[in-house]
Amino acid sequence: MLLTNGRIYTLDGRGTIADTLVVRDGRVAFAGRRADVNAAPGEEIVDLGGRAALPGLVDAHGHLMHLARLRLTLDLRGADSEEDAARRVGERAARLPKGEWISGRNWDQNLWPGARFPSRASLDRAAPDHPAALVRIDGHATWANSAALHAAAITRATRDPEGGLVARDAAGEPTGLLVDTAQRLLHGVEPRPTDEQFDRAVRECVADCLAAGLTGIHEMGAELYALASYRRLLERGEFPFRNYVAVAGRSASTWAQYRERGPERIGDGRLAIGALKLMADGALGSRGAALHEPYCDDPGNSGLVLMDGPEVERLTLEALGLGFQVCVHAIGDRANTLVLDAFERALARTPRPDHRLRVEHAQILTDRDVPRFARLGVLPSMQATHCTSDMAWAAERLGPERVRGAYAWRSLLATGVIIAGGSDFPVESPNPFHGIPAAVTRRPRDHVDVRSRRPSDGQGEPETDVRSRRPSDGRGEPETDRGWQPEQRMTREEAVRSFTTWNAYASRQERELGSLEPGKQADVVVLSEDVVTCDEARIPEIRPVLTLIGGEVVHRAPGWSEV
């Protein structure tokens, strides 16, 4: 295949922009000017129509297993009436074979007109042929339809269990609402997802990731059942994606098995099991991130350490010795110190020149710890959208001093490290065109910027230039237009590299992936707009129009007719 008439950002060391890319045997054979290459006989020629193309985008911290699990559970959050919730159940039912269960969560009748508990009647109308069991947002009640009650043999004769209630109408018939322990009557018969269901959910999640522009992920903590699913799908040719997996250290059976097997490459490396994922602390939102000093908004609490330093050190040495990379979740400053200390001790005991140890999140750092990443060769793996999601309340938790070390991308880059970029989906969207603008602007996506009405040159312009070019309307620029802690922003090139070349390095795949250079895998995304030069406000709207993985077309936008 010969792709031509494009603006192809190769992301090679010189920042070459090519107009033509030749793909042979799944790899890049040429990247350069059309005039310098001839199509081989029978080679397909694709006119990119001036569009921009990038190396395949990779999310360095995603959870495909969790995304698939969530997909099998209908999320009813946001339903604004019983009818609306039932309608969503009906939509799900329309896509499932008759008789298959629908599990759901997160309805809340207090948000509905009249605040009345729902009943089976609405569900029976929407989904008569699929047993449905929908758990209330607090987990204390389940709303079921007649098919589910029937499957669980719940009738007017069923007695209320100890600590539970089968709600009944005036005639004594169960209404479909099961409270507290009565929920067990249902959940005992509700089947767990089958392999087939899980496989299907994984396939759909991969399709969503491809449609967002990803060609691969680093999965931070997969368990055996998920790995078995990916393997089945690969064998059937139904896994058109790259997954670099860190096995879940907190699943003892998973690590026990991989400690014996060692790292694996399956399907020509499409599925590569190469790392161990550990967790050192919790998260900032739930005040579980381990801090050196207590939370400003919770003075008795300084967070939770989930794994102590000696254990991180021991497992790091064990995993490195077996050829695994190690990726440790650390959000709070105390957890980051703990992990860096453990890495430092491990490397002092057994020096390894190319260990590529990673800290996942590296979210809150002390001034003292910032330069230790570069010094130790440890890679921070960070999620720009966490910054824009947390910025509204991070300062309340941390106070004005500590918050300066939060999501401190520029401080880290200035020490010479690279930052692996990701989303932590399903916590955030897997869409890399949410992550890139978050990194570049440190503003939430819904922020309306005065600059968006003005043509942009695409460069991160110094603030003074912007001000001087702005017509004086007397209102001045709202402070938020500059983003939160704007001195920590990334440039567009850095943000793009944090989803391409830097992630290839952070998974030891830089010889195969990350840039479009001869010999590397032909993983390419052709974009609806040029992410490097388009107006900032347009970046979240960018979609891939054509995606290749290993030279194969894996995604094509509707209406794209060139291929």
Question: Helix 252-261 vs helix 224-235: angle between axes, to the nearest 10 degrees?
Answer: 60
Contact criterion met (CB below 8 Å) for 308 and 299: no
Minimum distance from residue 147 beta carbon to Zn ion (Å): 36
Q: Name which of 88 and 386 has its Cβ closer to Zn ion.
A: 386
Question: Helix 195-212 vs helix 64-71: angle between axes, to the nearest 10 degrees?
Answer: 110
Which parts of this chain interact with Zn ion (CB under 5 A)? 220, 424
Residue 237 backbone phi and psi in degrees, to 5? 70, 30
- The CA–CA distances, whole Å, from 359 to 58, 185, 310 equal 17, 44, 16
Minimum distance from residue 361 beta carbon to Zn ion (Å): 8
Minimum distance from residue 286 beta carbon to Zn ion (Å): 14
Beta bridge partners of 55: 524
Q: Name which of 141 and 438 has its Cβ closer to Zn ion.
A: 438
Minimum distance from residue 250 beta carbon to Zn ion (Å): 12
Minimum distance from residue 484 beta carbon to Zn ion (Å): 22
Edge-to-edge order in the sheet of strand 20-24: 27-32, 20-24, 2-4, 45-47
Minimum distance from residue 434 beta carbon to Zn ion (Å): 16
Residue carrying structure tokens 């992301």? 11
Q: Name which of 424 and 481 has its Cβ closer to Zn ion.
A: 424
CA angle 534/540/544 to nearest 5° reads: 80
Q: Do strands 164-168 and 174-180 pair parallel, antiparallel, or not at all (unpaired)?
A: antiparallel
Q: Name which of 424 and 449 has its Cβ closer to Zn ion.
A: 424
Minimum distance from residue 46 beta carbon to Zn ion (Å): 37
Minimum distance from residue 289 beta carbon to Zn ion (Å): 13
Residue carrying structure tokens 């704007």? 486
Q: Name which of 248 and 534 has its Cβ closer to Zn ion.
A: 248
Q: Name which of 381 and 521 has its Cβ closer to Zn ion.
A: 381
Residue 203 backbone phi and psi in degrees, to 5? -60, -45
* CB-count exposure of residue 450 (10 Å: 0-12, 13-18, 19+): middle
Q: Name which of 203 and 218 has its Cβ closer to Zn ion.
A: 218
Contact criterion met (CB below 8 Å) for 180 and 142: no
Q: Name which of 167 and 427 has its Cβ closer to Zn ion.
A: 427
For residues 162 and 169, give the distance between their C-alpha atoms in angstroms, rounded to a whole number: 20
Q: Name which of 267 and 285 has its Cβ closer to Zn ion.
A: 285
Minimum distance from residue 277 beta carbon to Zn ion (Å): 8
Minimum distance from residue 61 beta carbon to Zn ion (Å): 6
Contact criterion met (CB below 8 Å) for 90 and 269: no
Q: Name which of 220 and 384 has its Cβ closer to Zn ion.
A: 220
Provide, for the chain, the percentages of residues in helix, strand and coil under a 3-state DSSP scheme, each rounded to the nearest 5: 35, 25, 40
Q: Do strands 20-24 and 17-18 pair parallel, antiparallel, or not at all (unpaired)?
A: unpaired
Question: Helix 224-235 vs helix 195-212: angle between axes, to the nearest 10 degrees?
Answer: 80
Beta bridge partners of 527: 544
